[in-house]
Structure 1
Amino acid sequence: MTARCVLIAGAGPVGLAAAVEFRRRGFSPRIVDAGEGPTPDDQSRALGVLPRTLDILAASGIALRMLAEGNRISRMAVTDDGRPLFEMTTTPGHTQHPFILALPQGRTERLMIEWLAAHDVEIEWGVGFQTVADTHVPRVTLSTDEIVAADIVVGADGAHSAVREDIGISWSGDGYPAGFALADVVFDRPIDPAVAKIDLRTSPGHLSGAIAMLPLGERHGRYVGIAPSTEALLGDLPGIGEVVWASRFHVSFRHAERMAKGRVFLAGDAAHVHSPVGGRGMNLGIEDAATLAFLASEDRETEYEMRRLPSVRKVMAATRQGTDFIAAPPPAALALLRVFVPVAGQTPWLRGRIADRILGLDLPPPEWLRQAG
């Protein structure tokens, strides 16, 4: 029997994950992208890989390669204008990977591309989605004027999704008033690669809001936070030997009113975008892609929207709450955290709950992972 054709628009981490998951489940994925190639290794926005993403990519073997390359972060030291507030650890998390894996998005993409090439799937760069004639019996016109008859179409083509716009799904939400900045740096001396640092910067004299440092290894790290510029982000932080890459960006909290129309489905940023606080975006999108592939393998893809929307809404609400908190931490909440977190650290049940929240394990696991467990 001929394998069912899946046309995927977008070759970022979500589109690539969709291609991997559909391919290993016996489909014939075709993946197109209007760009010229994957994210540059030295300019990766997404960085944190959460345990469930590793669980999802374990079946293909990609997770092992990610684990071999990435840096494992298992502790967070939180300060208020440099004064210690509390520390947290992810080691009590209910997972075999109780850490955040720091791996640049460009490397994650290339590991997936290598796997796909080894399984006879090549990325068609410079080829964009144009329009789909019928969402129930999809016939997609590409930028090359080729018309593709597909059993399933996946729009993983980002926040400005051509697929979403073409099929007329509304895009709701608004922009966030504060700007963000990031800087990838080389330190002038070794750091502890297991410890992320978060400084809330609440004093009136600061030009920026909260800032986080995520280690990429003993000598490399990323600073990211609410700031109008890289200069405001880094200020007079000691120990930075070189800034390798810097970027400013604004974020929105927006979502598609639906994640499916007929046999056309949305995943990742095409369906939902939010701030980087918590590192959930790429991970949530990869779970979208894997869920769709699983459901399609059981001829249950019509369940996709109802299964993903609750998780999407929960993550977006939690991320908005977290972003608002770091933008303007209420003094009373800081005082409460200063007392609560050390006490919680002595209570095994609470330590596990806190770790699970940090690791993105506060959502129900996908059905096929529960079955495997």
Structure 2
Amino acid sequence: MTRPERVLIVGAGPVGLAAAVEFRRRGFHPRIVDAGGGSTDEAQSRALGILPTTLDILAASGITERLLAEGSRIENAEISLDGKRLFGISTKPARTRHNFILTLPQGRTERLMIEWLAARDIAVEWNTAFVSLADTHAPRVRLSNGETVGADLVLGADGVHSAVREDIGIPWNGEGYPAEFALADVVFESRIDAATARANLRTANGGAGGAVALLPLGETKGRYVGIAPSTAALLAGIEGIAAITWESRFSVSFRHAERLAKGRVFLAGDAAHVHSPVGGRGMNLGIWDAAWLAFLASEGRQSEYEMRRLPSVRRVLKDTRRMTDVIAAPPQRLLSVLRYVMPLATRLPFVRRMIAEQLLALDLPQPEWL
């Protein structure tokens, strides 16, 4: 393939916006449309965690500097079983300049990218939906405003119910998951350690079942999320909460598109893959998709996109499914490992580094241009 000139991005969530940023900084002038009326509500943002690879990717545009200025850094995690602390993990041994997880509401991340694009003559075209596409090898896209757009490259970043994916007939493989998730954004009565996340594994005899994790959002706010049938069950036994500012229940699936490309049409983010929030990979995986496509297109190598991304997608789905199964119904042997083996193993430097790099997803293939 030759380097594309006309780039159309469908979907202006964090993945579509990241694609627009990466294409723009590489000399393209992409067009980005979205069926919605605006960005994600900052008070109701489901995605929070920004991983080191994402920060490394967005550093070239200068967006990382703004993310770091506004977000909170998680550098430690404490693992508990039925409320009893077992061991701690630090991300500091990881071999990366950003050895932490940055937390920032998805809506704020989106707005920072929109501002960056606006300063470079790229405006999101809201209330403009993808309708259909003719000829994936010479795309002509019909939009809801009646316009037909010719493009050399079309990116479908339009979410789990992707109209682009459905229109070009790519199968959506996988299955739903029986457990329910709940989340609650809270304000605390007193200050908390903003640098430490906490995960409590609840067994049938010790609590409400499932698991609950706390992700700090500064010293007075945080998000509880986990496997639970309701917010009340999620927060059972937790003290020190002054107010709940947002709560939600949701189910999850483990699915991915059978193909990530068809002709000159490509898929990224939730349009290409979905899984549980365990591990905090979702938004990040999609942003990595977007950055890879922009890089490959800049070199006229966009035909390599699927083979570059699909193995990582399959691995993340496999890993997150296994982790979700574990916290939903932890086997007895794992409970023994957590109680007796991990407190000793985490004293070893190479184990601490390995765990830190897995926690930060640095065990996945890294972008070749970084």
Aligned to 1:27: 28
Give the 3 Å change call, closer, same or farther, for CA 198–345 of structure 1 in structure 2: same
Distance, in Å, in 1 between the alignment partners of 2:82 and 2:205 is 10
1:28 to partner: Cα distance: 1.4
Aligned to 1:48: 49
Structure 1, residues 333-361: CA drift from partner, whole Å, max 9, x if none?
12113333233323222211110000010
Distance, in Å, in 2 between the alignment partners of 1:336 and 1:248 is 31
2:145 maps to a residue whose letter is T
Superposed, which structure 2 residues align to 1:1-373 within 5 Å? 4-204=5-205, 206-369=207-370
Per the normalisation by structure 2, the TM-score is 0.98
RMSD (Å) for aligned C-alpha atoms: 1.2
Distance, in Å, in 1 between the alignment partners of 2:129 and 2:205 is 47
1:206 to partner: Cα distance: 3.4
Q: Say whether the 8 Å CA contact 1:275–1:319 is kept in structure 2.
A: yes
Q: Secondary structure at the match of 1:338?
A: helix
1:205 to partner: Cα distance: 6.2
1:78 maps to a residue whose letter is I
1:86 to partner: Cα distance: 1.4
Q: Secondary structure at the match of 2:132?
A: strand
Q: Secondary structure at the match of 2:94?
A: coil
Displaced runs of 4+ in structure 1, greater than 6 A?
A: none
Distance, in Å, in 2 between the alignment partners of 1:182 and 1:291 is 31
1:358 maps to a residue whose letter is L
Q: Say whether the 8 Å CA contact 1:77–1:197 is kept in structure 2.
A: yes
Greater displacement, 256-265 / 208-217: 208-217
Distance, in Å, in 2 between the alignment partners of 1:153 and 1:82 is 49
Q: Secondary structure at the match of 1:315?
A: helix
Distance, in Å, in 2 between the alignment partners of 1:287 and 1:109 is 15
Q: State percent identity of aligned pairs.
A: 67
Give the 3 Å change call, closer, same or farther, for CA 134–3 of structure 1 in structure 2: closer
1:366 to partner: Cα distance: 0.8
Distance, in Å, in 2 between the alignment partners of 1:202 and 1:347 is 28
Stretches of structure 2 that go unaligned for 5 or more consecutive residues are none
Greater displacement, 194-203 / 215-224: 194-203
Q: Say whether the 8 Å CA contact 2:227–2:234 is kept in structure 1.
A: yes
Stretches of structure 1 that go unaligned for 5 or more consecutive residues are none
1:34 maps to a residue whose letter is A
Per the normalisation by structure 1, the TM-score is 0.97
Q: Say whether the 8 Å CA contact 1:198–1:211 is kept in structure 2.
A: yes
Q: Say whether the 8 Å CA contact 2:4–2:152 is kept in structure 1.
A: no
1:3 to partner: Cα distance: 8.0
